Chains A and B, each alone.
Chain A
């Protein structure tokens, strides 16, 4: 995790004209590296505003209504409107006469992302407040916070500490269980998460039915990213209008972004949606070198030329026409001395190894894609290699139980476009990189046996 030194891991200053009340989630810089205890949390944000009312589908209650007005979307990557998820769980629970469960998803399986771990380290009480409020709005009797055990810093210890403080003051109405997900790329996927919590392996299941309809223990289940719940906790206190003071009208609010610029620790920063990407990438006055590239959206995202990326803003209205998405706010600038093809080849190999191996197209397609891409990046590719890559990428999209093959195909195709000039060089036996040091973070060992998935 990146919160190694005070101040360096997050940026307290706002960079958008839209608001000057950032950071909202992360503590202000002047608090230093001391994570807030419950008293400090209440001093900054106020008490936990329980609504004392459980909603029904006809009358969902003030929280869901506020969340709808605020326009809050999920911060786990899919950007699904939160009020619709809440409403779906409420409706399913009412119709099926079952008690829902709520899960705070801190299983941040994307290697290049660190925002969830940082949030849990610095503001666990905001996340836990959000969890309680969501549980209350849905009448849930089960609340679980999931994180990874194998993190550099003891995020679990921090959360346990926070839970103990809340226990001492009897703050939580629904007892919160702390659970751990294995460090696999697919572990944070919501069906894989529910599968794992239900005692199964950490691999996706097929939808329909959706988790909101039938999830943990066959109950309607809300799975929400920890950052989303933190925003929810603040909306409950300050209202939807306040939330909309940052961001854009179509995509309101702030979000946590993980920025990789050069070697060294990535930076976690809280920014308003709609922020120009060049503000995140640094040196806004300089034009990027002609072939420099940016990876937007993590390992299921896409490569864009840096010059193109610099014209875009951090919101889906701007990114989608370029084929990209905000995702979980991961922005990676490829250092000029590295080869984009080699880095992508490493990532694709990792993604192929992380396939659950359940679905034929993914199991058969991704390894072939990975091997072909390695050929493109390191050897002299054969005449059919690019054609194979295009065909296999197309062949796997939409044909798995989850979006793992889709995301991988997106990365491959965007790399083939953005690094086309580099590919030509490689075909002639050259490479423009001057460093072979690995840049994009990749966990050491991939799953080898069933035990790795449990």
Chain B
């Protein structure tokens, strides 16, 4: 059971808050849109990931629970 970050590219308007709050998993491309690391979230980052998810003004960033390891 693991968690992965997922961004809805239609809702994303490149506010950029996520990359500031979770630089370990999210960077911004040359146009300001997020590049999200698709790998499972490392255990220590869960709190920061939730902060980033809550901070998105358009709720484009989501945390998904998946069955895959």
Contact = CB atoms under 8 A, between A and B. Distances in A.
Interface of A: 205-206, 358-362, 364-365, 395, 399-401
A358 B8 CA distance: 11
Given A360-B14, A362-B9, A399-B33, 13 more contacts: A205-B10, A358-B10, A359-B9, A359-B10, A359-B12, A360-B12, A360-B13, A360-B33, A361-B9, A364-B31, A395-B30, A400-B9, A401-B10
Contacts of B29: 361, 395, 399
A395 B14 CA distance: 15
Interface residues of B, dominant DSSP: loop
Nearest to B14: A360
Contacts of A400: 9
B9 A206 contact: yes
Interface size class of B (residues with CB under 8 A): 10 to 19
16 contacts: A206-B8, A359-B10, A359-B12, A360-B13, A360-B32, A360-B33, A361-B29, A361-B33, A362-B9, A395-B30, A399-B9, A399-B33, A400-B9, A401-B8, A401-B9, A401-B10
B10 A361 contact: no
Interface in B5-50: 8-14, 29-33, 35
A308 B29 CA distance: 36
Contacts of B33: 360-361, 364, 399
A395 B13 CA distance: 17
Contacts of A364: 31, 33
Contacts of B14: 360
A364 B28 CA distance: 14
A119 B32 CA distance: 45
B31 A360 contact: yes
Nearest to B6: A208
Contact of A361 (B8, B11, B13, B31): B31
Point out which of A205, A362, A365, A399 has the most chain B C-beta atoms below 10 A from its C-beta. Answer: A399
Contacts of A362: 9
A365 B14 CA distance: 15
